[in-house]
Amino acid sequence: MNRASFHPAAIALGVTLLFALLFAAGASAPANAQAGPTPDVDVSLVLAIDASGSVEDERFELQKRGFAAAFRDPKVLNAIRAGDRRSIAVFMLQWTGPPLQEVMLPWMVISDERSADRVAAIIEAAPRRLMGGGTSLSGAIDYSVRVLASSPYRATKRVIDISGDGSNNLGRPVEQARDEAVRNGIRINGLPILAVEPDLDQYFRQNVIGGPGAFSIPAKSYEQFAQAILRKLVTEISQTDTKPARKESLLAPGPFTNPLAPRPLRSNVTRVRMLEPR
């Protein structure tokens, strides 16, 4: 019985045809197979709160309690559930001078009551670690941009929420930091506290906030901070690229529990002495 013999040229031709078929199959794959990744969350939100020298310990605690109360409020959870992904990722830091930032809450996802309460509890328990060192809004923005760049979650929107009671007095101009963040697709919203600088809301509007639909909600005093941050969180979570979504229903008047009852203050603080009084 004669054995079949295969010419080397025939083998080479067969291999070439096989690779050609495989390449053609790959090229004809559905276009959506090459599309970008699906976002994990609707919003990646960095909360940056002021720990400069003008913020006394009691005022710092009022900021913390205001955020904790807001995350436990049903209005915030309703805003989260109204999104396409029904979840947001949150990160919180305290800031003072250009190189001085401390993490209070690492990246965490909120999608239900349990996760919202867990985030609120961590914020309440976070100690103050900075005191003084100037007021660098630009440093807080720059740090927040890096935090967003390293986030483990993909988001439809990336937002920096910065609160403070003073204008930028250290570091590079805050307008430069804002403009760079906006060019990277980040929106910056503000919550100026008018206890020290009564015209700070105008400064925030002109120099700090930026990006499509960016807004600022002032609090006339630290005692009003909790109500202001509740309105602000609901708006920026539900907001589209250009305007708030369903603002009327989400911000409908309702019972508000005052979170500002006195509580023991923590003293684990790094105090920074600099020439600037703020």
In the DSSP assignment, the letter for residue 58 is H
- In angstroms, what CA-CA distances link 270 with 127, 162, 266? 11, 21, 12
Whole domain around residue 173: which residue ranges? 50-252
In the structure, what pLDDT confidence band is assigned to residue 22 with cuts at 50, 70 and 90? Answer: very low
Q: Which two tokens stand for residue 126?
A: 């976070």
CA distance 140 to 96: 8
Q: Is residue 123 part of a domain?
A: yes
Residue 32 has pLDDT above 60, yes or no: no
pLDDT at 252 over 60: no
Structural domain includes residue 168: yes
13-22, 30-39, 119-128 — most confident range: 119-128
What's the first-to-final CA gap in the chain, in angstroms? 99
Structural contact between residues 234 and 245, judged by C-beta atoms closer than 8 angstroms: no
Tokens for 187, please give them.
Answer: 């929106």
C-alpha distances (whole Å) from 210 to each of 104, 120, 130, 179, 180 are 24, 27, 27, 7, 10
Average pLDDT over residues 87-91: 98
Neighbour-count burial of 231, counting CB atoms closer than 10 A to its CB (0-12 exposed, 13-18 middle, 19+ buried): middle
**Is 209 part of a structural domain of the chain?**
yes
Q: Which two tokens stand for residue 231?
A: 């309105």
Assess if residue 22 is contained within a domain. Answer: no
Mean pLDDT of 184-193: 96
262 found inside a domain: no
Residue 187 lies in a domain: yes
Tokens of residue 200, six digits: 């700070």
What's the CATH number where 60 sits? Answer: 3.40.50.410
Residue whose entry in the numeric block shows the structure tokens 């031709």: 13
Residues 134-151: b if buried by 16+ CB within 10 A, e if exposed: bbbbbbbbbbbbebbeeb
Overall domain count for the chain: 1
**Per-residue pLDDT reduced to its tens digit, 235-248:** 999 976 544 333 33
Type of residue found at 34: Q
Please say if the pLDDT value at position 270 is more than 70.
no
pLDDT at 221: 87
For residue 100, with 0-12 CB atoms within 10 Å meaning exposed, 13-18 middle and 19 or more buried, which class applies?
Answer: buried
Q: Quick one: average pLDDT of 189-193?
A: 95
Residue 20 lies in a domain: no
Please tell me the distance from the alpha carbon of residue 137 to that of residue 169, in angstroms, as a whole number.
Answer: 8
Within a domain: 1 = no
Written as one string, the DSSP assignment of 62-94 is: HHHHHHHHHHHSHHHHHHHHTSSSS-EEEEEEE
pLDDT > 70 fraction of the chain, expressed in percent and rounded: 72
Q: What is the pLDDT of residues 137-172, one digit of tens each?
A: 999 999 999 999 999 999 999 999 999 999 999 999
